[in-house]
Amino acid sequence: MKKIFIVISVVIMLGFIGCQYNIDRTNIYMIGEAIHESFIKNDTSILKQVFLHEMDSTSDKQKKRISEIQDFFNPELTVIKMDTSSFLSWRWLNIYYKKKTTFYELSAPYSRDSLGAITILNLYLKNINEKCESDKNEPYCPKDDVDFKRISWTTDYYGKTFKSGEVFFKNNSYNDFNYIKFRVIMKNGNSQWSAETFFNQTVESYKPSYSGDITSVQIPGMENYFTGFKIEKDKLYFDAELIEVLPKPESSWCKLLKELEKEIIENSK
């Protein structure tokens, strides 16, 4: 099942006034304003009003993270927008900033009590440009979307040499693949736990694999592969590890970066 993010975007130009801060704890956008105000003024008393246990139980790791976020704030900062998102039982408040030519996301997971009051559970600051660039350089490896089903083979007359081998996998994604790279591992023994690896090879294929289909890929290294033992189906154990598939879809971070760049252009008109 594909992961689905529900994003409710509301563009808010955050202008704040210097006064005693009064927060409506049921309004997530006022909470966002309070967080922003807290860092702009370097006033943790505002943040304590909305944070879990008023920050009394904040870990050293979280304190360091908050300190780093505080160091991030300066007059060069431009607020772009605020939005909320949810995934399964998690709810997030996100505030997006631009600092010189770089975009950032300040995100805060939060919860609501039975009366609707909001509590911020944590704070994270992420460099969106770096996230996008990192995703571009990483191989696309959607392990949940590729299901290796089985392996089949043929042997010679004596049953100690593979003549051919073929792996079958199902493409459970919504996209077609035109390239796949994976590792085939085969073991021999009386049980899966005691079996010893005798074959380990990386395989590449440009054979198309369509969404929802089962695709077979020949294993070149199994052609005329002498094992040195009698090949018995009940004693062979097969595993496969996905390394990469193509084409690689645009990452969510890169999509977000484009959206924010567009927001900047629209707001400047």
Q: What is the pLDDT of residues 2-45, one digit of tens each?
A: 333 333 333 333 344 444 567 889 999 999 999 999 999 999 88
Domain assignment of residue 2, yes or no: no
Q: Which two tokens stand for residue 84?
A: 């909320």
Rounded CA separation 219/203 (Å): 7
In a 10 Å sphere around its CB, with 0-12 CB exposed, 13-18 middle and 19+ buried, how is residue 101 labelled? exposed
- Of the CA atoms within 13 Å of residue 78, those in its CB half-sphere come to 13
106 and 221 part of one domain:
no
Domain assignment of residue 81, yes or no: yes
Residue segments in the chain with a per-residue pLDDT below the cut of 50: 1-19
Rounded CA separation 251/259 (Å): 13
35 and 93 part of one domain:
yes
Range of the domain at 21: 7-137+250-267
162 and 118 part of one domain:
no
| Three-class secondary structure of residue 137 per DSSP | helix
Domain assignment of residue 1, yes or no: no
Give the domain CATH number at 34. 3.10.450
Contact of 179 with 169, CB cutoff 8 Å: no
111 and 23 part of one domain:
yes
Contact of 199 with 264, CB cutoff 8 Å: no
Number of separate domains in the chain: 2
117 and 16 part of one domain:
yes
129 and 89 part of one domain:
yes
Q: 213-249 burial string, b = 16+ CB within 10 Å, else e?
A: eebebebeebeebebeeebeeeebbbebebbbbeebe
50 and 112 part of one domain:
yes
120 and 24 part of one domain:
yes
Q: What's the predicted TM-score (pTM) here?
A: 0.77
pLDDT for the residue numbered 134: 96
Contact of 179 with 7, CB cutoff 8 Å: no
Q: Which two tokens stand for residue 134?
A: 């990192």
- Write the pLDDT tens digit of every residue in 128-156: 999 999 999 999 999 999 999 999 999 99
Rounded CA separation 35/201 (Å): 52
